[in-house]
Amino acid sequence: MGVRVAINGFGRTGRLAFRSAFERGLD
């Protein structure tokens, strides 16, 4: 799903989104 790419590309925003997704169950 390109999670790593999203984090590297978005940076701060990616971290916030990743944290939300991680709490939901890594959607």
Concatenated DSSP letters of 1-27: --HHHHHHHHTHHHHHHHHHHHHHT--
The more confident residue out of 1 and 16 is 16
pLDDT, one tens digit per residue, over 3-24 is 676 556 667 776 787 788 788 8
Report CA-CA distances (Å) from 25 to 1, 20, 22.
14, 9, 5
- The domains of the chain are located at 1-27
Tell me, what's the pLDDT at 7? 59
Spatial contact of 6 and 19, defined as CB atoms under 8 Å apart = no
pTM of the predicted structure, to 2 decimals: 0.35
Report CA-CA distances (Å) from 4 to 9, 13.
8, 13
The more confident residue out of 23 and 2 is 23
